[in-house]
Amino acid sequence: MAPFYGFGLAEQRVGAALAGVPRTDFVLSTKVGRLLRPGAGPELDAVFDFTGDGIARSVEESLTRLGLDRVDIL
């Protein structure tokens, strides 16, 4: 997974699909450093930030969209 795919929509869909699956039954990976920020108009812009803070924010935002408490591989 990655926030860049569908500007967060893919993460939301995967999270919804996995909602009823026991967490021990799957391994989930994602990319880091991609932040979604309001852009011009209704669109989101992908901002790349590979600083320590940017990576931490990227992971937390992905977890929120996924509705999970952790990913297994970054």
**Residue positions annotated with a catalytic role:** 5
Dihedrals phi, psi of 45, to nearest 5 degrees: -105, 140
- Per DSSP, the three-state class of 48 is strand
CA–CA separation, 12 and 16 (whole Å): 6
For residue 68, give every residue at least 6 positions away whose Cβ sits within 8 Å of its Cβ, in sequence order, or none.
15, 18, 23, 28
